[in-house]
Amino acid sequence: MTETAGGGRDAEAVSKFVESFAAQLVEAGMQRMPARIFAALLSSDEGAMTSAELGEQLQISPAAVSGGVRYLAQTHMVSREREPGSRRERYVVHGDQWYEALTNREAVLKRWEGALRDGVTSLGENTPAGRRMAETLAFFEFIEGEVSAMMERWRVHRQQVFGD
């Protein structure tokens, strides 16, 4: 058993999981550092770590932590907290907030819709290409509406299974 100072957990097993989960995130399009940082936070007991802790576990420089965290904060996957009267920051995965962010690609959808609308105009509403474009646009609009309903159902489901 590989127990270290980290609080009685099998550090090696944790690290292995962190890397393998990060790899999945990378494959899905996330940058490497944000992915690793996120995975580390997700598998910490508190769901929160300081910059120094992240640096040590992942063997990366403070600069890398800073960059990765900035990305995660911007995309609302993680939030920054700081105990009042200290300048040590804690980076926190807020329970369920993060996968809501993951699903709420609303900004992305909106941009796609914008681009598609331009497409319909550029190509002409009555060209075959224009009609295909319009249908695609309709698909995204449909999805956008469905997603929020779906998340609502999830909250109900979650409540039932996990309580609060």
Partner DNA sequence: CGCTTCATTCAGAAATTTGTGAAGTTAAGG
Partner DNA sequence: CCTTAACTTCACAAATTTCTGAATGAAGCG
Residues that bind DNA (CB under 7 A): 31-33, 50-52, 59-70, 85-89
Residue 43 interacting with a second copy (CB under 8 A): yes
CB atoms within 10 A of CB 4: 11
Residue 17 interacting with a second copy (CB under 8 A): yes
Rounded to whole angstroms, how far apart are CA atoms 98 and 15? 21
Minimum Å gap between C-beta 129 and DNA is: 21
Pick between residue 42 and residue 60 the one whose CB is nearest to a second copy: 42
Minimum Å gap between C-beta 57 and DNA is: 12
Residue (of 48, 49, 68) closest to 60 by Cα position: 68
Residue 67: Cβ-neighbour burial (10 angstroms; 0-12, 13-18, 19+): middle
Give the interface segment with a second copy, choosing from 51-59, 61-69, 79-87, 108-116 (CB under 8 A): 108-116
Residue (of 101, 86, 103) closest to 52 by Cα position: 86
Rounded to whole angstroms, how far apart are CA atoms 75 and 69? 10
Residue 148 interacting with a second copy (CB under 8 A): no
Residue 127 near which of a second copy, DNA, none (CB within 5-8 Å, type-dependent): a second copy
DSSP run (H or E) holding 111 = helix 106-123
Residue 82 identity: R
Q: Which residue ranges make up the site for a second copy (CB under 8 A)?
A: 9-10, 13-14, 16-17, 20-21, 24, 27-30, 42-47, 93, 95-96, 99, 103, 108, 111-112, 115-116, 118-119, 122-124, 127-129, 132-133, 135-136, 138-139, 142-143, 146, 150, 153-154, 157-158, 161-162
